[in-house]
Amino acid sequence: MKLCWSLPLCWFVIACGDSSSGDDVAADAGIDAHVGRPDGVALCYSPAADADPATTGFWTALRAGDRAARDAAIAALDAAATAAPAEEEFHLLLGLAHLWRLAEPLPGELTPAVQVTSATGARDHLRRAYELCPTDHRIAAWLGPVLIRYGRAVNDAAMVAEGEAVLDTGIAHYPSFVLFSKLLVHADAPRDAPEFQQALDAVLANGDACSAVVADPACEDHPHAAHNREGGVVFFGDALVKAGRRAEAEAIYMAGLREPAYATWDYQTLLTERLATLDARIAAYATPDPADDPVAAWAAPNQCAMCHSD
């Protein structure tokens, strides 16, 4: 069984408000998990879980894009969740650490055994996190696609339906964050299929949702997603390229170049190469054979790092 991944979150919009500068996001100082969230959306992290070495160790690894440190981070979070099973943050981060391994595997991790362990770990710990913290509707953005993709891979219609329901709940409560995940679950559909249109509609709606809010972490760069806006541009632009909407795709990639944190972003060539090969990429999507389609952000081996690496 092969589980093909791509997850994540977040969004971008040309006309969105201020974003923080690259330098400001270097430290956690000043991060407030509640500022900018819609009414009714609240995280459930405790100071003890925030300060636990399992938590800080995981963040050190993710922010450095250090996949070699990932297994140790997973083991530490697993031990922390076992020792304090009511701490939602451990389950959430453990689920996401598994998802990271699924989305950005090391060469030795491309085995069915590791993929199944990762998919199951992501599903079960994200489910538990959402049960423990039903107001953190960000979780729907991760759990929904995990259930849908896992369900599709094992032909489990009930799991797929659960994932769709989770995604709808999340979109109803936190559209600026969760709409992005609708892109992830439908972007691989043929570009003329209604499913791909849904992916495109969701990413456009995500842009609108972001232009309607101020200081929402879903729409800005911040310490836990230092290049959210730059990375988001790549996803958004790739969806427009696949749809053949050249002018809009070019505009959004160009907007990425003007982001304040672009200067400190490790993945600048993702944007410059896309701009340089725009016509060829659009032409490749337009052929009937999907085998020549460019590798899009949602299938890329750096799909977490482009938003999360400092």
Query: Which residues of the shown chain bind ligand HEC in the complex (CB under 6 A)?
Result: 7-10, 93, 96, 99-100, 103, 138, 217-218, 224-225, 228, 231-232, 235, 303-304, 307-308
- The smaller minimum CB distance to ligand HEC, of residues 127 and 138, is found at 138
Find the helix or strand (DSSP H, E) in which 91 lies: helix 88-103
**Cβ at position 217, least distance to ligand HEC in Å:** 4
**Cβ at position 74, least distance to ligand HEC in Å:** 12
C-beta of residue 71 within 8 angstroms of C-beta of residue 118: no
- The smaller minimum CB distance to ligand HEC, of residues 100 and 253, is found at 100
C-beta of residue 173 within 8 angstroms of C-beta of residue 41: yes
In the block, tokens 């495109």 appear at: 200
- The smaller minimum CB distance to ligand HEC, of residues 193 and 214, is found at 214
- The smaller minimum CB distance to ligand HEC, of residues 74 and 93, is found at 93
C-beta of residue 206 within 8 angstroms of C-beta of residue 239: no
C-beta of residue 148 within 8 angstroms of C-beta of residue 189: no
**Cβ at position 292, least distance to ligand HEC in Å:** 24
Tokens standing for residue 70: 């990932």
Tokens standing for residue 270: 């993702």
Instruction: Decide: residue 284, CB within 10 A, 0-12 exposed, 13-18 middle, 19+ buried.
Output: middle
CA atoms within 13 A on the CB side of 94: 29
Tokens standing for residue 4: 């093909």
Cα→Cα distances 222→27, 200, 310, Å: 9, 25, 10
- The smaller minimum CB distance to ligand HEC, of residues 55 and 281, is found at 55
- The smaller minimum CB distance to ligand HEC, of residues 2 and 155, is found at 2
**Cβ at position 104, least distance to ligand HEC in Å:** 7
**Cβ at position 28, least distance to ligand HEC in Å:** 10
Q: Which amino acid belongs to residue 111?
A: T
Total length of the chain: 310
- The smaller minimum CB distance to ligand HEC, of residues 64 and 158, is found at 64
**Cβ at position 289, least distance to ligand HEC in Å:** 27
Q: How many CB atoms lie within 10 A of CB 194?
A: 9
**Cβ at position 282, least distance to ligand HEC in Å:** 22
